[in-house]
Amino acid sequence: MANHSQLNFQDAASPIMEELMGFHDHALMVALAICSLVLYLLTFMLTEKLSSNTVNAQEIELVWTILPAMVLVMLALPSLRILYMMDEINEPDLTLKAIGHQWYWTYEYTDLKDLTFDSYMVPTTDLPLGHFRLLEVDHRVIVPMSSSVRVIVTADDVLHSWAVPSLGVKTDAIPGRLNQTSFLASRPGVFYGQCSEICGANHSFMPIVVESTPLANFESWSSLMSSQ
> What is the number of domains present in the chain?
2
The whole-angstrom separation of Cα 20 and Cα 69 is: 23
Residues 105 and 122 in one domain: yes
pLDDT of the residue at 53? 57
With contact defined as beta carbons under 8 Å apart, do 139 and 118 qualify?
Answer: yes
Asked whether residue 52 carries a pLDDT value surpassing 60, the answer given is no
pLDDT digits (tens, 9 = 90+) for 154-164: 999 999 999 99
Residues 64 and 170 in one domain: no
Specify if 5 maps to a domain. Answer: no
The whole-angstrom separation of Cα 34 and Cα 50 is: 22
The whole-angstrom separation of Cα 182 and Cα 184 is: 7
Specify if 7 maps to a domain. Answer: no
What is the DSSP pairing of strand 141-144 with strand 207-213? parallel
Cα dihedral value 121, 9, 165, 139, nearest 10: -30
Of 85, 104, 126, which residue is a domain's last? 85
Asked whether residue 153 carries a pLDDT value surpassing 90, the answer given is yes
Specify if 6 maps to a domain. Answer: no
Specify if 4 maps to a domain. Answer: no
**Domain that residue 124 falls in:** 92-224
Asked whether residue 56 carries a pLDDT value surpassing 70, the answer given is no
With contact defined as beta carbons under 8 Å apart, do 158 and 175 qualify?
Answer: yes
pLDDT digits (tens, 9 = 90+) for 183-215: 999 999 999 999 999 988 889 899 999 999 999
The whole-angstrom separation of Cα 57 and Cα 62 is: 9
| Helix, strand, or coil (residue 108) | strand
Residues 41 and 113 in one domain: no
Residues 107 and 68 in one domain: no
Residues 123 and 30 in one domain: no
CATH code of 63's domain? 1.10.287.90
Average pLDDT, the chain: 89
Residue type, 141: V
Residues 177 and 123 in one domain: yes
pLDDT of the residue at 227? 74
Residues 206 and 99 in one domain: yes
Residues 127 and 154 in one domain: yes
Residues 60 and 104 in one domain: no
Residues 186 and 76 in one domain: no
Give the global pTM: 0.84
pLDDT of the residue at 73? 93
Residues 18 and 129 in one domain: no
Of 85, 118, 144, which residue is a domain's last? 85
